[in-house]
Amino acid sequence: MNILISIVLKPDFLQPIQQFQLSACIAVATHQFLDKYDEGSLKIKWPNDLYWRDRKLGGVLIENIVRSRESEGGTWDWAVVGIGININQESFTADLKNPVSLKQVTGKSFDQIRLAKELCISIDQFYKRLINKEATAILERYNQLLYKKDEMVKLRKGNRIFSAVIKNITPSGQLIVQHSVEEQFDFGEIEWLI
């Protein structure tokens, strides 16, 4: 009913500290693939979920295999990119937060195998752009597609709940928000309260 796919990449042209470049590349490629089915309503929720309005359509997880060499620093050997996209599913378990499927968005059923092939083509196009040193353009596009950009949202860091305006994402993947002060957060530091 859905797309659940793993893609193995060898991003040895990037340094391990540039991991967010790959994450942004995959998120933007997945967005481009899905956007043709509901143009303009889909956004990338930091760091790499795909949201239609305030509902989760899909997500990306990347497992990185980095080898450390003391004299040369680390090398990025492999990245296993896992992508899950709700395609034809119409009912979800109660423990999922705000799920939605492409069928619910469009009212149409889809051949998920054909869509998975289209997704791979989109990822291949953006991955080639990353290889060709277009990371800045990819990050710019990521920031244009950022979920709740320039909007006030509620966030939680530990026991602290606060409201802040989502500003953008840094090249290293930190979320920049503005409230009484500007703050930057790494992955896993904060939780969105939607």
What's the order of all strands across the beta sheet hosting 49-52?
3-9, 73-85, 55-69, 49-52, 42-45
Q: How far apart are CA 35 and CA 172, in angstroms?
A: 25
Give the residue among 35, 29, 86 at the shortest CA–CA distance from 58: 86
Asked if residue 180 and residue 162 are part of one domain, the reply reads: yes
In DSSP terms, 68 is beta-bridged to 74
pLDDT of residue 70: 56
Asked if residue 128 and residue 185 are part of one domain, the reply reads: no
Asked if residue 186 and residue 166 are part of one domain, the reply reads: yes
Asked if residue 9 and residue 100 are part of one domain, the reply reads: yes
Q: Quote the pTM value.
A: 0.93
Query: By residue range, what is the domain housing residue 65?
Result: 3-144
| Residue at which a domain ends, from 144, 165, 185 | 144
Asked if residue 169 and residue 134 are part of one domain, the reply reads: no
**129 falls in which pLDDT band (50, 70, 90)?**
very high
pLDDT of residue 39: 81
Q: How many domains does the chain have?
A: 2
Asked if residue 96 and residue 15 are part of one domain, the reply reads: yes
| Residue at which a domain ends, from 120, 144, 168 | 144
Asked if residue 46 and residue 22 are part of one domain, the reply reads: yes
What is the CB-side half-sphere exposure of residue 112 using CA atoms within 13 A? 14
Asked if residue 135 and residue 159 are part of one domain, the reply reads: no
Q: What CATH number is given to the structural domain containing 111?
A: 3.30.930.10
Asked if residue 63 and residue 137 are part of one domain, the reply reads: yes
Output the average pLDDT for the chain.
Answer: 94
pLDDT of residue 69: 61
**38 falls in which pLDDT band (50, 70, 90)?**
confident
Asked if residue 106 and residue 58 are part of one domain, the reply reads: yes
Whether pLDDT at 161 is above 80? yes
Tens-place pLDDT, residues 80-119: 999 999 999 999 999 998 999 999 999 999 999 999 999 9
Asked if residue 121 and residue 166 are part of one domain, the reply reads: no
pLDDT of residue 112: 96
Asked if residue 80 and residue 108 are part of one domain, the reply reads: yes
What number is the average pLDDT over the span 166-191? 96
